[in-house]
């Protein structure tokens, strides 16, 4: 037994003793200890990176004797044994058999469509798959954790700055308001520096929430809607929560999706926000020599911030540009950040970690010495719960793909559903914060409270901000029109996944949970002529893994659109089903 005050614990990784900090989530702790890969690509038998470091992320850690954990939600305890199966003893030819264990392609060729060959192959299934064998428990559970029922007038899902603004403004009228957040309050304010939206702003908001008696349900995931109730999962106490509400405000935010290029899954490849979370929340450096892929606002914000804090930073630009592109780009150049534009191909080098990057810029091959890659080529709104709630969506690539149809107040086509912040479309912080405030005020108006005069002030301010960014003004007009006409539209200007040209599509990953490559998507839509998202999903396995399509949906859609020439809406959508993140079976059984 070690003392709890001891800052380090001893754990075993593949039977080797590793000392890791006690307070960090296990994924961050292992990253600090130099273990960058927790999983492997099953099909290609290579270490797999792309870490998300998020409670909704897809990565897993295998603790001996138990099922898998999300390495972000789980802290190290003494003596645990972690197994990372990074290679298999089997020859390559046998691996090919299981190429299709997750999708169809390879194993349907002769002889694997013969029972005898298949039966032999099956004997190796446990050697191939990295899944953990749980220890068998004999005793059934006597007592289940108590479940909680939350009864409220207004329910705000998400405690980022938009959620906080919405909750603060909604609660001013005296209505009972509840806010659900799985992680730390303030969301990206904790990791990004947004000028005037800093710690003081956050503290002021939190104080306001306290004064207005907003019930903050921390460590809680809103899991979605069943036919008979909306439910959630309290991560720290393993309790089931059921919700009754009159109005729901979705402030679920947005996230980055990975860039597509050769070997985009190498260890030490992270989403931009994951890299920042590692550094600013846990004090673990994602790398020293960082390259950021993307031209979105988030990509440049990440670059600027890391540069200011002493990292060596480069940016590789892609087509999809943020609303503050020129302003942020100028600032980045001023700080001395190297920016590579007109890049047509990227190849990541390395095996168990990123050791470099080969870039083709206007026909010239440049080799960059980097040790970590951060992705922010597209930012997409998190619409999964909104889709589950059956609020109609529309497709606008400028706003990040599928977005809920709503007006500037966040009102949707479903009466008691409001949208706040970047969940309604990606723009800038100045817009999110004001729009979220309006959504909060309008939600309380919907429940019979009068609108305060402040509403007009905020609306004027918002219009002023929007007026300054013509791109967003146009996007917002499209959305407003859709809201008035009550029907969706398609705004798509032919933006496609970047950096694939001339690269090995078989090593360009689209879906990281189930090992689906760009080649598979191409084969599905052109070879097999399956052009509906539902078919693409079923044939290739894309989006059927742990994250249920959260990270791969937009890339699949754009790739399918690129290979077929169809509009994304013609390829269609997938259905969202509860739960939002996987929930332990015994939590559901709560009293």
Partner 1 sequence: MKYDYIIVGGGIVGLSIAYHILKFDRSKSVLVLEKRYVGSGASTRNGSHFRVHFWSEENVRFAVKSREMILRIGSETGWNPIIMLGGYLWLICSEDILRAYEETNRRIWSRYNVPVKFLDISEIYKLFPYINTDGFIAGVYGPQDGKLHHDFVTFGYYYGFRKLGGKVLEYTPATKVLFKDGSVYGVETPKGVIEGDNIVVAAGDHSKYIMSIVDVDLPLVNERKELWVSEPVSLFIKPLIVDLRSDSMGLYIAQSPRGEVMGSIDYPKVQEDLEYNVSLDHFRMFSRLAIRLIPTLKYLRIMRTWSGSYVMSPDHSHILGRDDEWPEGLYVATGYSGHGFMMAPYTGYVMAKYLLTGEIPEDMKPYLPTRFKYKKLIKETMVIG
C-beta of 27 vs 425, nearer to partner 1: 27
C-beta of 58 vs 267, nearer to partner 1: 58
Contacts of 345 (CB under 8 A, 6+ apart): 261, 262, 359, 360, 499, 500, 501, 502, 503
Helix (H) or strand (E) holding 585: helix 585-588
Measured from the CB of residue 589, what is the shortest distance to partner 1 in angstroms? 4
Measured from the CB of residue 513, what is the shortest distance to partner 1 in angstroms? 9
- In the block, residue with structure tokens 């996987």: 582
C-beta of 119 vs 493, nearer to partner 1: 119
C-beta of 61 vs 303, nearer to partner 1: 61
Closest to 260 in 3D by CA, of 512, 538, 5? 512
C-alpha span between 181 and 105 (Å, rounded): 41
DSSP 446-499: HTTPPPPTHHHHHHHHHHHHHHH-HHHHHHHHHHHHHHHHT---EE-------S
C-beta of 101 vs 395, nearer to partner 1: 101
C-beta of 16 vs 138, nearer to partner 1: 138
DSSP 296-312: SHHHHHHHHHHHHTT-E
Measured from the CB of residue 82, what is the shortest distance to partner 1 in angstroms? 16
C-beta of 122 vs 335, nearer to partner 1: 122
C-beta of 221 vs 328, nearer to partner 1: 221
Contacts of 530 (CB under 8 A, 6+ apart): 524, 536, 539
Q: Starting at the edge strand that comes first in sequence, how are the strands of the sheet with 356-361 ordered?
A: 343-349, 356-361, 364-368
Contacts of 465 (CB under 8 A, 6+ apart): 428, 430, 431, 434
Yes or no: say if 23 and 10 are a contact pair by the CB < 8 Å rule.
no
Measured from the CB of residue 133, what is the shortest distance to partner 1 in angstroms? 5
Measured from the CB of residue 225, what is the shortest distance to partner 1 in angstroms? 9
Compute CA distances 201 → 206, 207, 209, 460, 485, whole Å: 9, 10, 12, 21, 37
Measured from the CB of residue 528, what is the shortest distance to partner 1 in angstroms? 8
Measured from the CB of residue 184, what is the shortest distance to partner 1 in angstroms? 23
Binding site for partner 1 (CB under 8 A): 60, 66-68, 100-102, 104, 107-108, 112-115, 118, 122, 125-126, 129, 131-141, 144, 226-229, 231, 242, 528, 532, 534-535, 538-539, 545-546, 548, 577-579, 582-586, 588-590
Measured from the CB of residue 582, what is the shortest distance to partner 1 in angstroms? 3
Q: Please state whether beta strands 393-396 and 401-404 pair in parallel, antiparallel, or not at all (unpaired).
A: antiparallel
């Amino acid at each position: 037994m070690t003392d709890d005050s001891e800052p380090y614990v001893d754990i075993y990784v593949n039977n080797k003793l590793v000392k890791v900090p006690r307070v960090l989530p296990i994924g961050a702790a292992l990253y600090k200890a130099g273990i960058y890969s927790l999983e492997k690509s099953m099909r290609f038998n290579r270490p797999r990176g792309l870490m998300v470091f998020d409670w909704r992320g897809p990565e897993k850690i295998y603790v001996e004797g138990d099922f898998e954990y999300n390495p972000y939600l789980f802290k190290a305890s003494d003596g645990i044994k972690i197994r990372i199966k990074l290679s298999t003893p089997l020859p390559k030819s046998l691996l090919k058999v299981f190429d299709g264990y997750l999708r169809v392609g390879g194993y349907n060729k002769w002889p694997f469509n013969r029972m005898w060959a298949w039966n032999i192959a099956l004997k190796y299934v446990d050697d191939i798959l990295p899944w953990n064998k749980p220890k068998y428990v004999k005793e059934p559970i006597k007592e289940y954790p108590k479940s909680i029922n939350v009864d409220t007038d207004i329910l705000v899902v998400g405690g980022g700055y938009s959620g906080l603004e919405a909750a603060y403004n909604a609660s001013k009228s005296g209505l009972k308001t509840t806010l659900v957040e799985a992680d730390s309050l303030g969301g990206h304010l904790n990791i990004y520096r947004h000028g005037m939206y800093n710690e003081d702003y956050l503290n002021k908001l939190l104080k306001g929430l306290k004064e207005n008696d907003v019930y903050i349900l921390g460590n809680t995931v809103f899991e979605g809607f069943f036919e008979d109730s909306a439910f959630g999962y309290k991560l720290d106490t393993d309790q089931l929560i059921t919700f009754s509400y009159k109005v729901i405000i979705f402030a679920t935010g947005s996230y980055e999706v990975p860039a597509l290029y050769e070997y985009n899954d190498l260890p030490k490849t992270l989403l931009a926000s994951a890299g920042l979370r590692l550094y600013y929340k846990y004090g673990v450096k994602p790398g020293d020599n960082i390259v950021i892929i993307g031209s979105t606002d988030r990509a440049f914000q990440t670059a600027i911030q890391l540069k200011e804090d002493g990292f060596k930073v480069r940016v590789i630009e892609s087509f999809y540009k943020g609303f503050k592109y020129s302003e942020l780009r100028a600032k980045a150049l001023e700080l001395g950040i190297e920016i590579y534009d007109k890049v047509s191909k990227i190849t990541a080098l390395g095996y168990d970690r990123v050791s470099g990057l080969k870039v083709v810029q206007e026909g010239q091959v440049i080799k960059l010495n980097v040790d970590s890659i951060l992705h922010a080529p597209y930012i997409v709104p998190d619409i999964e719960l909104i889709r589950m709630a059956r609020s109609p969506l529309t497709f606008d690539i400028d706003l990040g793909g599928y977005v809920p149809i709503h007006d500037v107040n966040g009102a949707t086509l479903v009466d008691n559903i409001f949208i706040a912040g970047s969940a309604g479309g990606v723009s800038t912080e100045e817009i999110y914060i004001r729009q979220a405030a309006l959504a909060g005020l309008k939600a309380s108006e919907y429940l019979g409270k009068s609108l305060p005069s402040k509403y007009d002030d905020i609306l004027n301010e918002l219009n002023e901000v929007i007026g300054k960014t013509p791109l967003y003004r146009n996007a917002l007009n499209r959305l407003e029109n859709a809201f008035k006409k009550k029907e969706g539209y398609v705004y798509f200007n032919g933006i496609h996944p970047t950096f694939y040209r001339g690269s090995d599509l078989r090593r360009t990953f689209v879906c990281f949970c189930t090992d689906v490559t760009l080649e598979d998507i191409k084969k599905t839509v052109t070879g097999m002529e399956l052009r509906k998202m539902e078919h693409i999903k079923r044939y290739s396995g894309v989006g059927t893994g742990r994250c249920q399509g959260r990270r791969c949906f937009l890339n699949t859609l754009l790739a399918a659109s690129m290979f077929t020439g169809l509009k994304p809406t013609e390829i269609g959508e997938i259905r969202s089903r509860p739960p939002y993140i996987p929930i332990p079976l015994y939590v559901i059984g709560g009293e």
